[in-house]
Amino acid sequence: MNFTDMLLDAERQNRSLLCVGLDPDPARFPHHMRNDPDRIYEFCAAIVDATADLAIAFKPQIAYFAAHRAEDQLERLMAHIRVAAPHVPVILDAKRGDIGSTAEQYAKEAFERYGADAVTLSPFMGFDSVQPYLRYPGKGVFLLCRTSNPGGDDFQNQRLADVPGQPKLYEHIARLAQGPWNVSGQVGLVVGATYPAEIARVRELAPTVPLLIPGVGAQGGDAQATVQAGWRGGAGGTTAAVAVNSSRAILYAGAGADFAQAARQEAERTRETLWRARLFD
Amino acid sequence: MNFTDMLLDAERQNRSLLCVGLDPDPARFPHHMRNDPDRIYEFCAAIVDATADLAIAFKPQIAYFAAHRAEDQLERLMAHIRVAAPHVPVILDAKRGDIGSTAEQYAKEAFERYGADAVTLSPFMGFDSVQPYLRYPGKGVFLLCRTSNPGGDDFQNQRLADVPGQPKLYEHIARLAQGPWNVSGQVGLVVGATYPAEIARVRELAPTVPLLIPGVGAQGGDAQATVQAGWRGGAGGTTAAVAVNSSRAILYAGAGADFAQAARQEAERTRETLWRARLFD
């Protein structure tokens, strides 16, 4: 099954648009595990178990593992997700961006070593920095398009003088992802939730690609406006998927021994908000 | 000592502009080690020992370690370089690019876990994706500016409609690196060697920042034209450093038991070509 189908399948089975971000920060772990990087796997696995029936995807952020020498725990976590939530795809959030033989090594890391279903990439170095990932049949890539941090304006919001219509850089990327770069249906986009008007613009330019939307929860995006701008579906089923990510608001919902239960409650609440947002007129 | 001073110091001591890239690919190792990822450390350490007096910098490419589950070998290699070549700075080639707490984790990975002196970054997400690295006093960042792969044209070569003078994206990045982003003298640029005219243009816009220039050797850039376009110095010493990278041409110069000696010869030859290129009129 290719990555887009996995996403739509998980959406249907879990009735969810919620991507659960796994950004394990030992300094914020529950009291009984706090500041213990050896318990990253245990912490994340408990979150996965508590949300396996609520998520459209899981998104481990590799930096949190790498900073703590915990690559082995990430490997174990990826294997655990396959067993605990076999129907939920896993997006490795790595934002890699390199070329040729180096990109091949990063693709091997993401898809062979960790067994991810998709990986986030920076498109800055151009199409040949994306191609090595597309050689893995069925695997997906999410290209950074419009990010909601203050610096997201620095380049992504610049209008390009020589492209017809003078689109902004992020609009140009959205068009490439829908068209010439998407030779095999494996390309999605990362679009921040802070500006729903920009999600709507990306959806207009890229009507069918899956969108990964961070920024709900701790980062403060409006969940409902986000879904209304990005999700496309109806009686015939979903035609354009969105996975709306929440990390810290779920992971750190509780600080006690019942942290996984607290995470579940927060995930359930967010899932409900996102799912209902589909039903606008 | 801050990163730029380390670079100039190594240039002087080793009379070199040559950055030795460490991209260990077990499939290309010498016969007696071939296809053995457990010997990545041993291979790289031998290259370091053979070129410690010839390099302005070493540049391990992290993807080659990550693809082979060899982070522990990268840690040992970084520690070995400190002992075998204490005067040669180490640039971790990672091309990270993320924001806020995630960028903090990546900075921790590069500077605390691996002890790198500098790291390569993608500027796509803007200034706040760079700031967390600048909080490490004396450490350096090299921002992707103009890359020499075919896809480098896709975005980097686009003219920006709303910036005065309508510079190309890479020219805009060069100006930011010289000016507003370079609050503490910690910022350098990555500029491919394939088009010396573009290196000269970057040097015009960013007259004092260090340049990391990949693309000589296996990637085929012209060593002499590269130095003439980027290096600035004279009787008073070097005013603008360049580190011209060669990886595969050096690493895989020999396939026998004497591979380190072959690597040294190739490194010596390249160092000589680069060093002489300074003496143009």
Residue-wise pLDDT tens digits, B56-108: 999 999 999 999 999 999 999 999 999 999 999 999 999 999 998 999 999 99
Instruction: Give yes or no for B76 touching A (CB within 8 A).
Output: no
pLDDT of amino acid A223:
83
- What is d(CA B164, CA B146) in angstroms, rounded to the nearest whole number? 20
Alpha carbon of B232: minimum distance to chain A alpha carbons (Å): 27
pLDDT tens for residues A125-176?
999 999 999 999 999 999 999 998 999 999 999 999 999 999 999 999 999 9
Report residue A281's pLDDT band, with 50, 70 and 90 as the boundaries.
very low
Instruction: Give yes or no for A280 touching B (CB within 8 A).
Output: no
Instruction: Give yes or no for B86 touching A (CB within 8 A).
Output: no
Partners of residue B98 in chain A, C-beta under 8 Å: 63, 95
pLDDT tens for residues A172-210?
999 999 999 998 899 999 999 888 999 999 999 999 999
Is pLDDT at B177 greater than 50 in this prediction?
yes
Partners of residue B126 in chain A, C-beta under 8 Å: 147, 149-156
Contact across the interface for B63 and A105, Cβ inside 8 Å: yes
Q: Based on the residue annotation, tell me whether A95 is a catalytic residue of this protein.
A: yes
Instruction: Give yes or no for B114 touching A (CB within 8 A).
Output: no
Count the alpha carbons within 13 Å of B123 in the hemisphere toward its beta carbon.
27
Burial of A165 (0-12, 13-18, 19+ CB in 10 A): exposed
pLDDT of amino acid B236:
82
Average pLDDT over residues A60-83: 98
- What is d(CA B41, CA B26) in angstroms, rounded to the nearest whole number? 11
- What is d(CA A252, CA A236) in angstroms, rounded to the nearest whole number? 37
Average pLDDT over residues B249-262: 97
Is pLDDT at B221 greater than 80 in this prediction?
no
Q: Name, in order, each residue with C-beta under 8 angstroms of A54's C-beta and a sequence gap of 6 or more.
A: A14, A16, A18, A20, A264, A267, A268, A271
- What is d(CA A51, CA B210) in angstroms, rounded to the nearest whole number? 48
What ipTM was estimated for this complex? 0.96
Is pLDDT at B220 greater than 70 in this prediction?
no
pLDDT tens for residues B225-243?
999 999 998 778 888 999 9
CB atoms within 10 A of CB A240: 17
Tokens of A253: 């919902």
Strands B237-240 and B187-191: unpaired
Tokens of B189: 């640029």
Instruction: Give yes or no for B280 touching A (CB within 8 A).
Output: no
**Domain range annotation of chain A:** 3-277
Instruction: Round the average pLDDT of chain A to a whole number and report it.
Output: 95
Tokens of B91: 């640039």
Contact across the interface for B102 and A159, Cβ inside 8 Å: no
The partner residue sitting opposite B155, judged by closest CB among A99, A124, A153, is A124
CATH class name, domain B3-140+147-153+192-199+210-276: alpha beta
Is pLDDT at A215 greater than 80 in this prediction?
no
Tokens of B21: 């890239």
Is pLDDT at B281 greater than 60 in this prediction?
no
Partners of residue B172 in chain A, C-beta under 8 Å: 155, 158
pLDDT tens for residues A33-59?
999 999 999 999 999 999 999 999 999
Report residue A220's pLDDT band, with 50, 70 and 90 as the boundaries.
low
Which of B82, B60, B81, B56 is CA-nearest to residue B210? B56
Provide DSSP, A19-70: EEEE---GGGS-GGGTT-GGGHHHHHHHHHHHHTTT-SEEEEBHHHHHTTT-
Instruction: Give yes or no for B36 touching A (CB within 8 A).
Output: no
In our burial notation (b when 16+ CB lie closer than 10 A, e otherwise), range A98-132 reads: bbebbbbbbbbbbbebbebbbbbbbbbbbbbbbbb
Average pLDDT over residues A19-35: 98
Is pLDDT at A7 greater than 90 in this prediction?
yes
> Which of A59, A95, A108, A168 is an active site residue?
A95
CA B54 to chain centre: 15
Report residue B157's pLDDT band, with 50, 70 and 90 as the boundaries.
very high
Geometric angle at alpha carbon A79, from A62 and A72, rounded to 5°:
50
**With contact defined as beta carbons under 8 Å apart, do A27 and A8 qualify?**
no
Average pLDDT over residues A238-253: 94
Instruction: Round the average pLDDT of chain B to a whole number and report it.
Output: 95
Contact across the interface for B161 and A166, Cβ inside 8 Å: yes
- What is d(CA A262, CA A244) in angstroms, rounded to the nearest whole number? 19
Geometric angle at alpha carbon B170, from B146 and B100, rounded to 5°:
95
Alpha carbon of B180: minimum distance to chain A alpha carbons (Å): 12
The architecture of the domain spanning A3-277 is Alpha-Beta Barrel (3.20)
Which of A178, A170, A240, A237 is CA-nearest to residue A210? A240
The partner residue sitting opposite B158, judged by closest CB among A97, A106, A162, is A162
- What is d(CA B80, CA B57) in angstroms, rounded to the nearest whole number? 14
Contact across the interface for B63 and A109, Cβ inside 8 Å: yes
Name the phi and psi angles at B134, rounded to 5: -75, -10
Contact across the interface for B162 and A162, Cβ inside 8 Å: no
Instruction: Give yes or no for B150 touching A (CB within 8 A).
Output: yes
Average pLDDT over residues B112-140: 98
pLDDT tens for residues B21-48?
999 999 999 999 999 999 999 999 999 9
pLDDT of amino acid A104:
98
Evaluate the CA torsion angle B273, B274, B279, B281 in order and state its sign.
Answer: positive
